[in-house]
């Protein structure tokens, strides 16, 4: 196969309608989400109502003229949603929706510090097992780690939740050990849903930016083969996890240092966020067919 390259543009040459390539891409991208929704009891009528509000929201926010709030008629024209529905939905969109569970951002901060701060790392760069209490381990304790991020929550509450989720376990000495592969809870539907939205949004946003000709383009590359044995795929999955985690841990360390440096220079700087992700997926190739997943 050729070297990894940026995806070709799917923007149609004429604006009469979407290109067949774009339609195929959308069907392929939406397939796993439709599978998730059906598995969770979300049917087409529910999704259609959800999409109606989303089309109105994006048309109102991202398709303005001269940065002025668009009229209901313009939102209707851009989105294809009936003007009466636009008028009904726009006030509802200004009502804050359900917030992400607070344990997720806090947990992400804790895991990032545990995997990036030298105080909590072993000589080989792996997260150090931590004593539960500061009275036992001082600065190298789970209690001190939690306090370094948030003083308003007890470390025991976080520990109990992480043990429930499978993010940490206790070793024979009763020390708290982090799953160094990543902060991805093995249990906890809310936490998984948070990262589903966060990671898929940012990956899709980077791809859409590139497809629409945004400059400079975002990094968005992949390597894919379709004639491998299950044994080879298993070996490649392990290799991908090892190298992917090395890259993520290195980025986490530099980002943490940069954040501290930026705050020391300006306590209230203009804020910008970033996401860098790694993923691996495999599936059987249907006999005599091209893979569609």
- Each residue's pLDDT tens digit, 53-91: 899 999 999 999 888 889 999 999 999 999 999 998 888
Q: Strand, helix or coil at 227?
A: coil
Q: Which helix (H) or strand (E) holds 170?
A: strand 168-170
CB atoms within 10 A of CB 292: 11
CA 74 to chain centre: 32
Contact 144, 197 (CB under 8 A): no
Q: What's the pTM? A: 0.72
Residue ranges with strand state E in 27-129: none
How buried is 174 (Cβ within 10 angstroms: 0-12 exposed, 13-18 middle, 19+ buried)?
exposed
* Cα 122 from Cα 120, distance rounded (Å): 7
Under the banding of pLDDT at 50, 70 and 90, the label for residue 289 is low
pLDDT at 293 over 70: no
Tokens standing for residue 271: 């804020």
Tokens standing for residue 170: 């206790």
Q: Which one, of 58, 81, 66, 80, lies nearest residue 205 by Cα?
A: 58
Q: Strand, helix or coil at 139?
A: coil
Under the banding of pLDDT at 50, 70 and 90, the label for residue 14 is very low
Contact 176, 185 (CB under 8 A): no
pLDDT at position 186: 57
pLDDT at position 20: 92
Tokens standing for residue 152: 């308003």
Under the banding of pLDDT at 50, 70 and 90, the label for residue 96 is low
Query: What residues have CB less than 8 Å from 41, skipping those under 6 apart?
Result: none
pLDDT at 106 over 70: yes
Contact 95, 105 (CB under 8 A): no
How buried is 8 (Cβ within 10 angstroms: 0-12 exposed, 13-18 middle, 19+ buried)?
exposed
How buried is 18 (Cβ within 10 angstroms: 0-12 exposed, 13-18 middle, 19+ buried)?
middle
């Amino acid at each position: 196969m050729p070297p990894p390259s940026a995806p070709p543009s799917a923007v149609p040459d004429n604006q009469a309608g979407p290109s067949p390539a774009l339609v195929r891409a959308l069907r392929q991208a939406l397939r796993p989400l439709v599978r998730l929704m059906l598995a969770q009891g979300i049917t087409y009528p529910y999704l259609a109502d959800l999409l109606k509000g989303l089309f109105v929201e994006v048309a109102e926010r991202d398709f303005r003229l001269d940065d002025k709030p668009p009229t209901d008629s313009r939102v209707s024209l851009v989105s294809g949603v009936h003007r009466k529905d636009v008028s009904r939905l726009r006030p509802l969109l200004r009502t804050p929706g359900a917030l992400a569970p607070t344990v997720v951002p806090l947990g992400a901060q804790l895991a990032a510090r545990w995997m990036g701060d030298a105080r909590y790392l072993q000589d080989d760069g792996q997260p150090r097992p931590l004593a539960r209490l500061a009275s036992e381990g001082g600065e190298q304790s789970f209690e001190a780690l939690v306090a370094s991020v948030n003083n308003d929550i007890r470390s025991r509450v976080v520990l109990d939740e992480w043990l429930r989720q499978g993010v940490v376990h206790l070793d024979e000495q009763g020390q708290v050990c982090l799953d160094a592969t990543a902060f991805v809870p093995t249990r906890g539907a809310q936490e998984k849903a948070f990262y589903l939205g966060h990671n898929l949004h940012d990956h899709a946003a980077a791809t859409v930016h590139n497809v629409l000709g945004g400059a400079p383009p975002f990094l968005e590359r992949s390597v894919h083969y379709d004639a491998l044995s299950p044994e080879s795929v298993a070996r490649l999955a392990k290799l991908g996890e090892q190298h992917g985690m090395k890259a993520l841990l290195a980025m986490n360390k530099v980002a943490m240092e940069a954040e501290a440096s930026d705050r020391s220079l300006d306590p209230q700087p203009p804020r910008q966020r970033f996401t860098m992700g790694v993923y691996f997926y495999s599936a059987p190739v249907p006999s005599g067919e091209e893979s569609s997943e």
